[in-house]
Amino acid sequence: MILLACNTKKAETNISNPENASQMQPSIHSLSYTGIDGTPVSLSTYKGKKILIVNTASECGYTPQYKQLQELYNLHKDQLVVIGFPANDFGGQEPGENKDILQFCEKNYGVTFPLSEKITVKGKGISPVFEWLTQKELNGKMDATVKWNFTKFLLDEDGRLLASFDSQVTPLDDAILGYLKK
């Protein structure tokens, strides 16, 4: 009877072990995007680092977050990569071409973190990266809605989705920084 109790306890531990469950969660590392310079980039390039994916726009009230995104990237680049995905899906606030967007980001905010080419983050023509980020059936974690520019998605070192943050959560908010202290 004691042997049975030990076996039962061991089985329960294995079943409820969150590490085993998270290993089954899909990874974004199988996807790629096109950089703002036209170069294809595999997200597997960032294995071993957390990834913060942000849909960005140059003419939005949240555009000054570029400064904090760059600061976050500078402070934590050994463990985090920030990737900006410019999109014109909300109020036409990213009207420029890729070269204009890159020039704006470098000149006004000193952006050195990776940027993708301009994409679509919702609806028809949605980028595969944002399709994965917003659909639980693909990411294994949650359904999410990109409600506005500067929505943020944080992924762990294995490319598994950890959390999403609305536009008003700034890049240096404790809600994001807490994940970098783990």
- List the domains of the chain with CATH numbers: 28-180 (3.40.30.10)
Mean pLDDT over 65-86 rounds to: 98
Which of 20, 108, 139, 149 is catalytic? The answer is 108
In the chain, pLDDT over 70 holds for what percent of residues? 87
Mean pLDDT over 49-77 rounds to: 98
How far, in Å, CA of 43 to CA of 45, rounded?
5
Does residue 5 register a pLDDT over 90? Answer: no
How far, in Å, CA of 9 to CA of 44, rounded?
37
pLDDT of residue 21: 46
pLDDT in tens, 139-160: 999 999 999 999 999 999 999 9
pTM greater than 0.85: yes
pLDDT of residue 93: 97
- 65-76 and 98-109 helices, crossing angle to 10°: 70
Mean pLDDT over 129-137 rounds to: 98
Does residue 127 register a pLDDT over 70? Answer: yes
Q: Do 158 and 27 touch, CB atoms closer than 8 A?
A: yes
Q: Name the more confident of 19 and 132.
A: 132
pLDDT of residue 25: 86
Q: What is the mean pLDDT of the chain?
A: 89
Q: Is 74 a catalytic residue?
A: no
Sign of CA dihedral 146, 181, 71, 99: negative
